[in-house]
Amino acid sequence: MGHTQPHGYDKYAYEPFAVTVDLAVLTIRSGALHVLLVERGQDPYAGHWALPGGFVEPSESAETAARRELAEETGLADVTGLHLEQLRTYSEPDRDPRMRVVSVAFTALLPDAPEPHAGSDAARAGWLAYDKPRPLAFDHDRILADAHEHVGTQLELTCLATAFCPAEFTLGELQHVYETVWGTALDRPNFRRKVLATPGFVEPVPGAARLTGGRGKPAALYRAGTATTLQPPLLRPNPEGRSA
């Protein structure tokens, strides 16, 4: 911004850039990772699934636009508290065949999954299992993969996992978040100790317990704590590469 300006201040000297947001909205449904997708109603990629998103309006920041789109697509009344995080920006010149589109991608994590409504441009909208619905329109496969990788890394380093859980949750549910996103099983005793040993990760709800699935011993309930970072980190069992 404000640097070398090839042709002075003529705002229309160049082919304009469109700026959009794309949202990788993740949730856990019936024990599996799901992603919010819309089915495109028009070309290009008519009939393909795509990430929800839309244009940044003149008075908005990308973050504001993302939150507005999230509210519109999920039908959630209050998205102010939801975890929304910028992923990265995709700007390859040919990523949209119609014109030059630069897209700021976000990840959002939801505790449970209200049914979405289809927007103006979309034929359908819904939660689809993470593994299934490829290929997506445009470069959305890559964006979604980047989002998954990013969330996986964030689980190692931060207390983000609680964003997938409702206000009160059991440690088993929290562990299930990790196992679902990472695709690996964790040792329950060790996970439990690690979480409880991290100050501010979770705080107990006194006296409360929940019967989980009707089977087994009732589990104590916890709320998300105030801490944001995990020190030391909670590393994935499979020592596989991280990008970031």
Name, in order, each residue with C-beta under 8 angstroms of 222's C-beta and a sequence gap of 6 or more: 168, 169, 170, 171, 174, 202, 203, 204, 205
Own/partner pairs for 209-217, CB < 8 Å, 24+ apart?
A: 210/168, 210/170, 212/170, 212/172, 212/173
* Closest approach of DNA to the CB of residue 213, in Å: 5
The binder of 10, among a copy of itself, DNA, none, by C-beta within 5 to 8 A per type, is: none
Residue 195 burial (CB count, 10 A): 21
Smaller CB separation from DNA, 99 or 197 = 197
Residue 215 structure tokens: 């089977």
Amino acid at 78: D
User: Per CB under 7 A, does 27 bind DNA?
Assistant: no
Q: Is the dihedral of CA 163, 167, 173, 175 positive or negative?
A: positive
Smaller CB separation from a copy of itself, 29 or 142 = 142
Lay out the site mask for DNA across 154-173 (x = CB under 7 A, - = otherwise): ----------------xxxx
Residue 177 three-state SS: helix
User: Which one of residues 17, 218, 229, 242 is an interface residue with DNA (CB under 7 A)?
Assistant: 218
Nearest to 108 by CA among 52, 78, 70: 70
User: Which one of residues 18, 129, 167, 235 is an interface residue with DNA (CB under 7 A)?
Assistant: 235
Smaller CB separation from a copy of itself, 156 or 172 = 156
- Chain residues in the site for a copy of itself (CB under 8 A): 1-6, 9, 11-12, 14-20, 22, 38, 40, 44-45, 50, 52-56, 58-63, 69, 86, 88-89, 91-93, 95-96, 98-104, 119-122, 137-138, 154, 157-158, 228-229, 231-233, 235, 239, 241-242, 244
User: Per CB under 7 A, does 237 bind DNA?
Assistant: yes
Positions 99 through 128 that interact with DNA (CB under 7 A): none
Report residue 15 CA to chain centroid gap.
32
Name, in order, each residue with C-beta under 8 angstroms of 88's C-beta and a sequence gap of 6 or more: 105, 146
The binder of 2, among a copy of itself, DNA, none, by C-beta within 5 to 8 A per type, is: a copy of itself
Asked if residue 97 lies in contact with residue 15, where contact means CB atoms within 8 angstroms, the answer is no
User: Per CB under 7 A, does 75 bind DNA?
Assistant: no
The binder of 123, among DNA, a copy of itself, none, by C-beta within 5 to 8 A per type, is: none
Positions 198 through 217 that interact with DNA (CB under 7 A): 209, 211-217
Nearest to 96 by CA among 43, 145, 144, 60: 43
User: Per CB under 7 A, does 64 bind DNA?
Assistant: no
